[in-house]
Amino acid sequence: MTGAQALANSLDLAQHADKLGYHRYWVAEHHGTPALACAAPEALIGPIATLTRRIRVGSGGVMLPHYSPLKVAEIFSMFAGLFPDRIDLGLGRAPGTDQATSFALQRDRRQQSPDDFPNQLAELLGYLYDQIPAGHPFARLSALPGRPGMPEPWMLGSSPQSGIWAAELGLPYMFADFINPAGAAIAERYRRDFTPSAQLARPRMAVAASAICAETDEEADRLAASGRMLLTLLRQGNLIPVPTIETAQAFFTEQGLPSNGRIAARRTIIGAPATVRAGIEALAAEYGAEEVMVVTITHDHAARRRSYELIAQAFDLATAD
């Protein structure tokens, strides 16, 4: 489909998830890829929050190295003022793209931007929490436009360092198991080393999982062929749009590979509702997570909607009137 269609589908899915009883809906930041249409989470959060009633809406995440901490604080403060107690600010260190595209995103291209994420993060939280020291030249800038509303900051990651920062700063932590399925030890270290903050008294762990649900295990496995081809070629440095199931099946046949084979170093929970519920519960137990976020990639939008419906039913989520 076109990027415009994918963006419209994201709005539709958000409304669907809101009615189904999901707790939060995040949009990510990716650049220079034909498979993913969202390059600017902040461009989608406002429309999604406007079209939904109760679901929390946020970024999964803002790739902070590309931005001024003040600008991010101002944008998400405005969202929090417009949509009280519904806005999340998920933050990541990764560029969300390749080095060339990262350089194209820079405002100043005389040299590569410094790797100063801890300083950026501290400055951003200083604005949000109104903790810039008195006398600092930026102190007055903590008077953000959406006060008294405030977004809920989350640290995102798929490696040990993100968990260390989340623990040190007393932030909730969302681990991307769909990128790195070996994060249980990282989650345990986060909980062990967590330092309480004024905003969070105890560790708050969540995990993001890749999942596809259908009426039967066989149908879910068939739908998953598109994502398998996408990831197989991604690992080879070949970026493509999400392929149809038929294209993916033909690809694996030509390669002499099973279309239902596992992708190395990736985990996807695939199956009928009972299968997926068991997989999600096992994943939550593995991470000691209070919450699981579901990422579903299918070629067909109707199949994606249906997957979220079946998962909501499997967990008896409270649907909206």
| Residue 16 to residues 36, 51, 297, 298, 301, Cα–Cα distance (Å) | 20, 10, 16, 16, 12
User: How far is C-alpha 173 from the geometric centre of its chain's CA atoms?
Assistant: 12
Residue 166 lies in a domain: no
- Tell me which of 102 and 32 has the higher pLDDT: 32
**CB under 8 Å to 48, separation ≥6 — which residues?**
10, 11, 14, 25, 27, 57
Q: Where are the alpha helices (DSSP H) in the chain?
A: 3-20, 41-51, 69-82, 99-105, 117-128, 160-169, 184-193, 217-223, 225-234, 245-254, 273-287, 301-314
Query: Quick one: pLDDT at residue 266?
Result: 84
Q: What mean pLDDT is predicted for residues 298-320? A: 95
Pair 12, 1: CB distance under 8 Å: no
Prediction pTM value: 0.93
The alpha carbon dihedral of 73, 40, 50, 156 has a sign of negative
Q: How far apart are CA 200 and CA 292, in angstroms?
A: 19
Burial label for 46, CB within 10 Å (0-12, 13-18, 19+), is: middle
Q: How far apart are CA 148 and CA 78, in angstroms?
A: 10
* pLDDT band at residue 319 using 50, 70 and 90 as cut-offs: confident
Residue 240 lies in a domain: no
Q: How far apart are CA 296 and CA 26, in angstroms?
A: 12
Torsion of CA 265, 266, 267, 272, to 10 degrees: -130
Query: Quick one: pLDDT at residue 96?
Result: 65
Pair 94, 105: CB distance under 8 Å: no
Query: Quick one: pLDDT at residue 254?
Result: 94
Query: Quick one: pLDDT at residue 264?
Result: 66
Query: Quick one: pLDDT at residue 106?
Result: 76
Residue 250 lies in a domain: no
Name residue 213's beta-bridge partners.
271
Query: Quick one: pLDDT at residue 230?
Result: 94
**CB under 8 Å to 240, separation ≥6 — which residues?**
34, 35, 229, 230, 233
Residue 67 lies in a domain: yes
Residue 9 lies in a domain: yes
* pLDDT band at residue 107 using 50, 70 and 90 as cut-offs: confident
End-to-end CA distance of the chain: 32
Domain that holds residue 131: 1-157
Residue bearing tokens 């890829």: 33
- Tell me which of 102 and 153 has the higher pLDDT: 153
Q: What mean pLDDT is predicted for residues 44-51? A: 98
Residue 65 lies in a domain: yes
Angle, helix 69-82 to helix 117-128, in steps of 10 degrees: 40
Query: Quick one: pLDDT at residue 25?
Result: 98
Q: What is the pLDDT of residues 155-196, one digit of tens each?
A: 999 999 999 999 999 999 999 999 999 999 999 999 999 999
* pLDDT band at residue 68 using 50, 70 and 90 as cut-offs: very high
Residue 205 has pLDDT above 90, yes or no: yes
Q: What mean pLDDT is predicted for residues 102-119? A: 80
Residue 134 lies in a domain: yes
Residue 300 has pLDDT above 90, yes or no: yes
- Mean residue pLDDT of the chain comes to 94
Q: How far apart are CA 193 and CA 58, in angstroms?
A: 26
Residue 219 lies in a domain: no
Query: Quick one: pLDDT at residue 280?
Result: 98
Q: How far apart are CA 123 and CA 192, in angstroms?
A: 25
**CATH (domain of 54):** 3.20.20.30
**CB under 8 Å to 197, separation ≥6 — which residues?**
169, 170, 171
Q: What is the pLDDT of residues 245-278, one digit of tens each?
A: 999 999 999 999 887 777 766 899 999 999 999 9
3-state secondary structure of 56: strand
Residue 206 has pLDDT above 80, yes or no: yes
Q: How far apart are CA 129 and CA 134, in angstroms?
A: 13
The structural domain count of the chain equals 1
